[in-house]
Amino acid sequence: MIHFTFLAENNCLSSGISGAIDALSIANLLWQYMEGAKTPLFESRIITPDGEPVTANGGMVIHAAGSMADIRTTNMIVIPAFFMPLDLKAKRTEQICDWLKMHHAQGTRLAATCTGS
């Protein structure tokens, strides 16, 4: 199974998470139907830096299945687009960047759902 971890944060665009998860869910259905597989090919999990809910741009609250600290291994970390302002000097942003660098150094693939990525 291929594990996708979606990192949600305040002011992110929820469509970058929900749209990708919808696509993976459809791919799972097709995989199981066409291949007769009993288990899905992809697993998706939404996390936040501290495991607490975050508020996406537009006010949608995103609930997490865990925190960054809960993720020991994953195949892919997906980062959604963020609506400004994003404080690049904030401690929380620094922690996110350090966490992403650590996982990348371990061989985890990083992806972003943003035209500027």
| Model pLDDT for residues 46-104, shown as the tens digit of each residue | 999 999 999 999 999 999 999 999 999 999 999 999 887 667 778 888 999 999 999 99
Q: For residue 112, give both structure tokens.
A: 């972003």
**pLDDT of res. 85:** 65
* Burial class of residue 116, CB neighbours in 10 A (0-12, 13-18, 19+): exposed
**pLDDT of res. 117:** 60
- The structural architecture, per CATH, of the domain 2-113 is 3-Layer(aba) Sandwich (3.40)
Q: For residue 90, give both structure tokens.
A: 């904030």
The reported pTM is: 0.92
Distance CA 18, CA 72 (A): 23
Q: pLDDT for 13-39, tens place per residue?
A: 999 999 999 999 999 999 999 999 999
Distance CA 96, CA 68 (A): 8
**pLDDT of res. 13:** 94
